[in-house]
């Protein structure tokens, strides 16, 4: 049975900020470009970003990209690659101004320049005083970015395949990437997308945790596909917990609330962040605030009947600031926490928010993996950008507002390097391997024929419980070792999931089963990588190894699906043009 083939110069999987920015570059250069997305592009998870995008424009206070770079390196707890970090911070002002020129409606100062607000971890003079660096479009920054980029893409003739789910990466005998398989949800048919270059921009995978700020769609499909195709995942032990998820629901209360003056209180009514971070207080980086909150709870100063959360107080800001500068927050608190923040504080807990790890790339957006002694050999024809990629700019901990920046800077960079590759090295398509769609067809057939298997939702819940309890904010050796065993057992169960609905058209049950295949790969990678790292760094806080160990552990981890083994590779310590920023202890 022949699987239909569609041919493009470039195929992009994902229509969020990263995918759209890359697609724009490719389409505008005249290359035939397809974007596949599970949902309508402007409903990608980027729409959730409220806080803003960082750039050292210096519109409100003096600022320089070198200071932004310092903050990002320090925020990353010295696991970020300093060449990629330099590239991102140096390009940031240009990237934001480009978005402005594309028509993105940023908030403005009276003089017409883009308004910038304070945000956790943004400082002047390498950590001395907070600086206003975050550019926002009210609380709709992500939404505005998606709409702006989507419109430009339509104009540039990007071809959109909406409600198409990519299933597997196609690599040929040389290991080069030559396309993907994808499922058209409306018909249930499988197609091959044959390409000279493929970019993954499939976003994060926060749904491996039970307490998550991520929408249901964040199932990390790109990472699952990469692992199945034999590629490694980098730094998967590092997950950022947002300090202020609504207890019980996961819904995020933006850091902007603390930027505008909201404070965290424990059961004694104490503003405890003053004790942990005398300078930055409630605006210290996220991992630091999350850990401080968790300590308050562990030491018995949590609030509520089970003493398991802390409070975010903002009533002292007054209704005007709350309504004008933080629109939407009040409604969210009322609907999901049952409190009106104009009068009462909001119960919050650290909640899984962002995946620092991902598919290993360099600052050009090229996917790299170890080969013949080179830890970073290019995988021909394969690129990744956005949250699914690990460039690595966020290292062990991402700074707020650096992700939207990552999307546009590395989306564009990947697009540019794909253009060079396609025009310079790929006069023609490489042939598809025989049976290119075989693995995807086999997975679908397995699902259709499975009997006596388990429900998808049950297996997914078991996975989430395991990851939440064994790889959360606090970690120790015994707990993680148990987690590795438990997740292996859950992964076995996932091989036999069963769905009742066997129909072809818009079969959401089937989609969710296929998504679970991806989530499971990521959950396994997370636990194995976390168990492997014997130090504390950024978001990975290891109780038995409470300190950062630069001598032995300043290195990136690489997880391989085959044999579930780990390898490690060096951190890039040479920026592109400036001096290396040597490690220091992170204090705030």
Partner 1 sequence: MSDFDPVEMKRMRWRSRRGLLELDLVLERFLARRFDTLTGDQLLAYRTLLDLPDTDFLEVVNGKVDLDAPELMEIVDMLRAI
Ligand X SMILES: Cc1cc2nc3c(=O)[nH]c(=O)nc-3n(C[C@H](O)[C@H](O)[C@H](O)COP(=O)(O)OP(=O)(O)OC[C@H]3O[C@@H](n4cnc5c(N)ncnc54)[C@H](O)[C@@H]3O)c2cc1C
Residues that bind ligand X (CB under 6 A): 13-19, 36-39, 41, 44-46, 48-53, 141-142, 164-166, 201-204, 213-214, 221, 252, 353-354, 386-388, 401-404, 407
Kindly tell me which of 399 and 480 has the beta carbon lying closer to ligand X.
399
CB of 186 to partner 1, least distance (A): 7
Residues 84-103 within binding reach of partner 1 (CB under 8 A): none
Q: Report the alpha-carbon distance of residue 432 to residue 260 in Å, rounded.
A: 54
Residue 348 dihedral angles phi and psi, to the nearest 5° = -135, 150
Q: Report the alpha-carbon distance of residue 264 to residue 118 in Å, rounded.
A: 17
Kindly tell me which of 210 and 266 has the beta carbon lying closer to ligand X.
210
First CA to last CA across the chain, in angstroms? 62
Q: Report the alpha-carbon distance of residue 513 to residue 499 in Å, rounded.
A: 8
Residues 468-507 within binding reach of partner 1 (CB under 8 A): 503, 505-507
Q: Say if CB 351 and CB 242 are below 8 A apart.
A: yes
Q: Residue 186: which of ligand X, partner 1, none does it interact with, CB under 5 to 8 A by kind? A: partner 1
Kindly tell me which of 225 and 280 has the beta carbon lying closer to ligand X.
225
Total binding residues toward partner 1, as defined by CB under 8 A: 37
Q: Residue 287: which of ligand X, partner 1, none does it interact with, CB under 5 to 8 A by kind? A: none
C-alpha angle 80-407-473 in degrees, rounded to nearest 5: 50
Residues 147-166 within binding reach of partner 1 (CB under 8 A): 147, 163
Kindly tell me which of 39 and 295 has the beta carbon lying closer to partner 1.
39
Joined tokens for residue 520: 């499971």
Three-state SS for 122? strand
Answer yes or no: 286 catalytic: yes
Residues 107-146 within binding reach of partner 1 (CB under 8 A): 140, 143
Joined tokens for residue 236: 């998967």
CB of 48 to partner 1, least distance (A): 5
Kindly tell me which of 334 and 578 has the beta carbon lying closer to partner 1.
334
Question: Binding residue for partner 1 (CB under 8 A) from 45, 394, 412, 430?
Answer: 45
Kindly tell me which of 496 and 506 has the beta carbon lying closer to partner 1.
506
H helical segments located in 113-262: 141-155, 221-228, 256-259
Residues 224-263 within binding reach of partner 1 (CB under 8 A): 249-252
- Catalytic: which of 21, 207, 258, 286? 286
Q: Say if CB 542 and CB 479 are below 8 A apart.
A: no
Which CA distances in Å does 162 have to 38, 156, 185?
6, 17, 9
Q: Which residue has the tokens 């009947």?
A: 305
According to the binding rule CB under 8 A, does residue 325 interact with partner 1?
Answer: no
Q: Report the alpha-carbon distance of residue 90 to residue 85 in Å, rounded.
A: 8
Residues 167-186 within binding reach of partner 1 (CB under 8 A): 185-186
According to the binding rule CB under 8 A, does residue 214 interact with partner 1?
Answer: yes
Joined tokens for residue 444: 């679908």
According to the binding rule CB under 8 A, does residue 580 interact with partner 1?
Answer: no
CB of 221 to ligand X, least distance (A): 3
Q: Residue 156: which of ligand X, partner 1, none does it interact with, CB under 5 to 8 A by kind? A: none
DSSP 284-322: S-HHHHHHHHHHHHHTT--BTTTT-BEEEE-GGGHHHHH
Question: Binding residue for partner 1 (CB under 8 A) from 212, 290, 402, 536?
Answer: 212
Of the candidate spans 208-216, 388-396, 415-423, 429-437, the one that interacts with partner 1 by CB under 8 A turns out to be 208-216
Three-state SS for 514? helix
Joined tokens for residue 422: 């396609």
Q: Residue 216: which of ligand X, partner 1, none does it interact with, CB under 5 to 8 A by kind? A: partner 1
Least Cα distance to 386 among 15, 89, 62, 75 occurs for 15
Kindly tell me which of 37 and 557 has the beta carbon lying closer to partner 1.
37
Q: Say if CB 557 and CB 529 are below 8 A apart.
A: yes
Residue 438 dihedral angles phi and psi, to the nearest 5° = -50, -55
Residues in contact with partner 1 by CB under 8 A are 38-39, 42-48, 140, 143, 147, 163, 185-186, 212-217, 249-252, 328, 331-332, 334-336, 503, 505-508, 511
Active site positions, annotated? 286
């Amino acid at each position: 049975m022949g699987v239909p083939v569609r041919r493009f110069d470039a195929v992009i999987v994902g229509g969020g900020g990263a995918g759209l920015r890359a697609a724009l570059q490719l389409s505008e250069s005249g290359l035939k470009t397809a974007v596949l997305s599970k949902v309508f592009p402007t409903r990608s998870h980027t729409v959730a970003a409220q806080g803003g995008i960082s750039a050292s424009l210096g519109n409100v206070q003096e600022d320089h990209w070198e200071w932004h770079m310092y903050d990002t390196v320090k925020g990353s707890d010295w696991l970020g690659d300093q060449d990629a970090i330099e590239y991102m911070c140096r390009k940031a002002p240009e990237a934001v101004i480009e978005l402005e020129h594309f028509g993105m409606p940023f908030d403005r100062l009276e003089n017409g320049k883009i308004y910038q607000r304070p945000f956790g971890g943004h400082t002047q003079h390498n950590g001395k005083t907070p600086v206003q660096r975050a550019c926002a479009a009210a609380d709709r920054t992500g939404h505005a970015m998606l709409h702006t980029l989507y419109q430009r893409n339509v104009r540039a003739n990007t071809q959109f395949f909406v409600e198409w789910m990519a299933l597997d990466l196609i690599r040929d005998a040389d290991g080069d990437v030559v396309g993907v398989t994808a499922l058209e949800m409306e018909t249930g048919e499988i197609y091959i997308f044959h390409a000279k270059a493929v970019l993954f921009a499939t976003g994060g995978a926060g749904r491996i945790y039970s307490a998550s700020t991520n929408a249901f769609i964040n199932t990390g499909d790109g990472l699952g596909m990469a692992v199945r195709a034999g590629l490694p995942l980098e730094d998967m032990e590092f997950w950022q917990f947002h300090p202020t998820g609504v207890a019980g629901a996961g819904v995020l209360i933006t850091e902007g609330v603390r930027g505008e003056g909201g404070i965290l209180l424990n059961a004694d009514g104490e503003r405890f962040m003053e004790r942990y971070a005398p300078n930055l207080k409630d605006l210290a980086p996220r991992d630091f605030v999350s850990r401080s909150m968790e300590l308050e709870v562990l030491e018995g100063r949590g609030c509520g009947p089970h003493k398991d959360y802390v409070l975010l107080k903002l009533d002292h800001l007054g209704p005007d600031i709350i309504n004008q500068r933080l629109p939407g927050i009040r409604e969210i608190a009322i609907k999901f926490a049952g409190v009106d923040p104009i009068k009462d504080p909001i119960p919050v807990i650290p909640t899984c928010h962002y995946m620092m790890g991902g598919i290993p790339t360099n600052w050009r957006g090229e996917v790299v993996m170890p080969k013949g002694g080179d830890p970073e050999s290019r995988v021909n024809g394969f690129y990744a950008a956005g949250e699914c990629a690990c460039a690595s700019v966020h290292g062990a901990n991402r700074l707020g507002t650096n992700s939207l920046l990552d999307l546009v800077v590395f989306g564009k960079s990947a697009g540019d390097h794909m253009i060079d590759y396609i025009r310079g090295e790929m006069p023609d398509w490489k042939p598809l391997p025989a049976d290119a769609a075989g693995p995807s067809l086999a997975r679908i057939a397995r699902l259709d024929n499975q009997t006596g298997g388990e429900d998808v939702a049950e297996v997914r819940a078991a996975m989430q419980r395991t990851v939440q309890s064994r790889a959360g904010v606090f970690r120790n050796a015994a707990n993680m070792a148990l987690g590795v065993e438990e997740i292996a057992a859950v992964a076995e169960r996932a091989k036999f999931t069963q769905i009742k609905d066997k129909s072809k058209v818009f079969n959401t049950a089937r989609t969710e089963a296929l998504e679970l295949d991806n989530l499971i790969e990521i959950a396994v990678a997370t636990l194995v990588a976390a168990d492997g790292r014997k130090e504390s760094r950024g978001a990975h806080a290891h109780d038995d190894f409470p300190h950062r160990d630069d001598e032995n552990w300043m290195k990136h981890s690489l997880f391989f699906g085959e044999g579930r083994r780990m390898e490690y590779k060096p951190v890039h310590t040479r920026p592109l043009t400036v001096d290396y920023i040597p490690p220091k202890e992170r204090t705030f």
